[in-house]
Structure 1
Amino acid sequence: MVTPTSTEALPGQAGTQRTAFQCLAAAYPHHQPRSITLSVHDASSARLALRWLKERTSHITDQLDAPHARPGRHWLTDEAEHERALTYLTTGTAYQLTLHDEHTRYVLVTYPPGPAA
């Protein structure tokens, strides 16, 4: 049986669970009224959501000046924090990573599956 990966329930299946982890990266420029979506992704497992988070963090830190990239680079090598993120996701809690430079805040977040809306 194929399980739907969207947040929409199939007809006759009220209360079904989403099976995809939602992943989002956004930039919040200072002094701007709106955010800029950088990436949206559905991952089929907590490990794949973490992989997406690592890839996006790497892409963002590659574009930051060295002092601002340092926290992201540290996070990329922090295995204990990666395990913490996996624990959060597998137990139903979202995980968020925030990076910034002088002009912009970057927010990367993964949401575990939950009840369909």
Structure 2
Amino acid sequence: MSMIVLGECRANSSGSALRWLHDRAARLTRRSVAGLGQPVRAWLRDAGELERALALVAAGKSYVSTAVDTWGMRYAFTAEPVGGAVEPLVYRWEGAEWRRRT
């Protein structure tokens, strides 16, 4: 199986990384990718799953969520720490947006 990277971003915190990932996934749902919109939108609305993703990345672990389109193409939304230390959690998914923790 070959992999094609559709986007990449280096962020300075787990919150920033997941915000970017969330935005990229949302953009895909707005495009006409057959069969991908519904599962990705469900993932985007799942506050518990996004909180779990933040916790994993903040703990220095990788996070992966996958979705498959109508033609069997698999999309993997991943966030992983690179290069050592990971910033502590500073964002929380609330309702339909990221909020900075104080």
- Partners of 2:3 and 2:83 lie apart in 1 by 25
Q: Say yes or no: does 1:108 pair with 2:82.
A: no
Match of 2:90 in 1: none
Q: Which amino acid aligns with 1:42?
A: R
Match of 1:61 in 2: 29
- Normalised by the length of structure 1, the TM-score is 0.63
Deviation at 1:114, TM superposition (A): 4.6
- Normalised by the length of structure 2, the TM-score is 0.71
Secondary structure of the corresponding residue to residue 96 of structure 1:
strand
Larger Rg: 1
Query: 2:54 aligned to 67, 75, 86, which one?
Result: 86
- Partners of 2:17 and 2:2 lie apart in 1 by 25
Among all aligned residue pairs of Structure 1 and Structure 2, give the percentage whose two residues are the same amino acid: 35
List gaps (5 residues or longer) in structure 1. 1-32
**Greater strand content:** 1
List gaps (5 residues or longer) in structure 2. 85-102
Structure having greater relative contact order (Cα 8 Å, sep ≥ 6): 1
Q: Number of residues paired by the alignment?
A: 83
